[in-house]
Amino acid sequence: MNALSEQILSELRHLLSEMSDGGSVGPSVYDTARSLQFHGNVTGRQDAYAWLIAQQQADGGWGSADFPLFRHAPTWAALLALQRADPLPGAADAVQAATRFLERQPDPYAHAVPEDAPIGAELILPQLCGEAASLLGGVAFPRHAALLPLRQACLVKLGAMATLPSGHPLLHSWEAWGTSPTTACPDDDGSIGISPAATAAWRAHAVTQGSTPQVGRADAYLQAASRATRSGIEGVVPNVWPINVFEPCWSLYTLHLAGLFAHPALAEAVRVIVAQLDARLGVRGLGPALHFAADADDTAVALCVLCLAGRDPAVDALRHFEIGELFVTFPGERNASMSTNIHALHALRLLGKPAAGTSAYVEANRNPRGLWDNEKWHVSWLYPTAHAVAALAQGKPQWRDERALAALLQAQRDDGGWGAGRASTFEETAYALFVLHVMDGSEEPTERRRIAQAVARALEWMLARHAAHALPQTPLWIGKELYCPTRVVRVAELAGLWLALRWGRRVLAEGAGAAP
């Protein structure tokens, strides 16, 4: 067990030291399909098309059947990309299966827009639906009626702006509304809105209209984004890239949740990242990438990390996003984010600032079981629950929540893991362990024994599935579709396993019910 703990710390050190390359993000069906569609040369991207076809599920759609809300965009996009790749092996069959899948699917946007709708759904889905209708005629596809007025309102707003500033949030979905390359300009990384799909669309329009001076930079960006997927296939791209603020911020925050932030074995790697964040955090805050608009979520987590490292950052950067007693992720967003307000609460608590209204909002917005599941950036209830418990317990050593603890223990699967879908995942099991780590300290001996037994079962499940330097595969983060920020998730997996190992050693040494 000691050898495994050392191996985990070594891998964590390695992951933290790599975080200067823009970030690691798993491959995206949606962005790959859109990029292929805009690329134009089918024969030059045969491996990427083959990859796209291989991702199709048995029911004809793309994306996890566990989370049907996030399957429309990748399936529409894949259908449209493969529609023009008919000569390639398997393409025609894939299009037929996708058409049948979409015809059978209930329309989640027929009457209203779900709170956790994918990013840019109001712009992207009507656009894809319109493109498919023009190609496939009278097929009875979902029409997404509730999104149409939102799209129209957004287009009116965009029509009033000649050119959006680099990094504007709406550039992330440029492929769904942009037609003139003059409405956007590649940022310093060569991207349009840190989106491979948007950048590929902009590049195609720029080439067609003869606006070519920046096309080379867009090409370089798309090649770098493709490398970030670790797929080894040219043209397979991620959902978002770079994530050179989000990735280090969330990784260090996760270390804190596991009690690893100040571990001597990680001290130097943590110090380097903290120094970078400290230098980058300005009065306007930080976004997920250096050349993207600032938002409350990344700003709040950066503030948390700096506070935990003993710095004294100013709260002003977060106040830009405060409306009343809540925080908006981006100004003008359709609905508030639970995790953004959780992170703002945690930052305010660490900074010693009043946060009664935000705390009350977080406490009140639970489901009947006492857990947090109304989240717009992650599909699993375990993610906001882990972060909410950490934020609410910050500075309150005797904080307890019997209802949430009972619900969490009850949600553990027979195999020992946790998961919001049909199977347990390493990432979500780690989040459950972070919750138990916080709650254990203020519980009675009987409850602590129950917690220790749950951790022992989780450890057994994790040990059976752990492999050194494995790449996480399950996309649970909400973008235009579900995606996987690979290093962020791997840090969570390793931190959860390390925590369970340490817990087990303490329990053996001190008797049942001991805590790490």
451 domain residue, yes or no = yes
The tokens of 180 are what? Answer: 């003139």
Q: Give the CATH number, domain containing residue 163.
A: 1.50.10.160
Render pLDDT for 357-399 as a digit per residue (tens, 0 to 9): 999 999 999 999 999 998 999 999 999 999 999 999 999 988 9
Residue 23 maps to a domain: no
The domain boundary, picked from 229, 257, 290, lies at 229
Domain co-membership, 301 together with 449: yes
Rounded to an integer, what distance in angstroms lies between the CA atom of residue 502 and that of residue 409?
Answer: 20
> Of 482, 375, 429, whose CA–CA distance to 64 is shortest?
482
Domain for residue 223, yes or no? yes
Burial class (CB in 10 A: 0-12, 13-18, 19+), 86: exposed
pLDDT digit of tens for each residue in the chain (516 aa)?
689 999 999 999 999 999 999 999 999 999 999 999 999 788 889 999 999 999 999 999 999 999 999 999 999 999 999 998 888 999 999 999 999 999 998 999 999 999 889 999 999 999 999 998 888 776 778 889 999 999 999 999 998 887 889 899 999 999 999 989 988 999 999 999 999 999 999 999 999 887 677 899 999 999 999 999 999 999 999 999 999 999 999 999 999 999 999 999 999 999 999 999 999 999 999 999 999 999 999 999 999 999 999 999 999 999 999 998 899 999 878 888 999 999 999 999 999 999 999 999 999 999 999 999 989 999 999 999 999 999 999 999 889 999 999 999 999 999 999 999 999 999 999 999 999 999 998 888 899 999 999 999 999 999 999 999 999 999 999 999 999 999 999 999 999 999 999 998 777 666 644 455
CA-based nearest residue to 294, from 476, 165, 387: 165
- Asked if omega into 242 is within 30° of 0 (cis), the reply is yes
189 and 330 assigned to the same domain: no
Do 267 and 346 fall into the same domain? yes
Looking at residue 479, which CATH number applies to its domain? 1.50.10.20
Has residue 238 been placed in a domain?
Answer: no
Residue with tokens 């566990």: 66
Alpha-carbon gap, residue 11 to 70, rounded angstroms? 32
Evaluate whether 309 touches 274 at the Cβ level (below 8 Å).
yes
- Look at residues 329, 215, 297, 231 and name the one whose alpha carbon lies nearest to residue 31: 231
Angle 255-258-262 from CA coordinates, rounded to 5°: 55
In a domain, 365, yes or no: yes
Same domain membership, residue 199 and residue 85: yes
pLDDT of residue 397: 84
Does one domain contain both 264 and 388? yes
Q: Is 92 in the same domain as 48?
A: yes
Structure-token match 């797929």, residue found = 231
pLDDT for res 480: 98
Tokens of 4: 């495994």
Pair 194, 256 in one domain: no
144 and 170 in a single domain? The answer is: yes
Q: Which among 229, 256, 274 is the end of a domain?
A: 229
**Domain total of the chain:** 2
Residue 287 near residue 277, CB atoms below 8 Å:
no
Do 264 and 355 fall into the same domain? yes
How many degrees, rounded to 5, is the angle at CA 415 between CA 413 and CA 418?
A: 40
Examine the domain organization and report whether 367 and 282 are in the same domain: yes
- Structural tokens at position 64: 């996890």
Q: Is residue 316 packed enough to be buried (19+ CB in 10 Å), middle (13-18) or exposed (0-12)?
A: exposed
pLDDT value at position 513? 47
Tokens of 218: 């867009």
Q: What are the tokens at 359?
A: 């705390």
Say if 364 falls within a structural domain.
Answer: yes
Extract the tokens encoding 256: 């804190």
24 within domain boundaries: no
Of the residues 205, 229, 253, which one is the last residue of a structural domain?
A: 229
Determine the Cα–Cα distance for residues 82 and 93; give it in Å rounded to an integer: 10
Phi and psi, residue 151, nearest 5°: -65, -45
Compute CA distances 401 → 334, 389, 438, whole Å.
31, 9, 10
State residue 211's pLDDT score.
67
DSSP 375: -
Query: 13 and 33 share a domain?
Result: no
pLDDT at 43: 80
Is residue 300 in a domain? yes
The answer to whether residues 269 and 352 belong to one domain is: yes
By residue range, what is the domain housing residue 475?
3-17+243-513
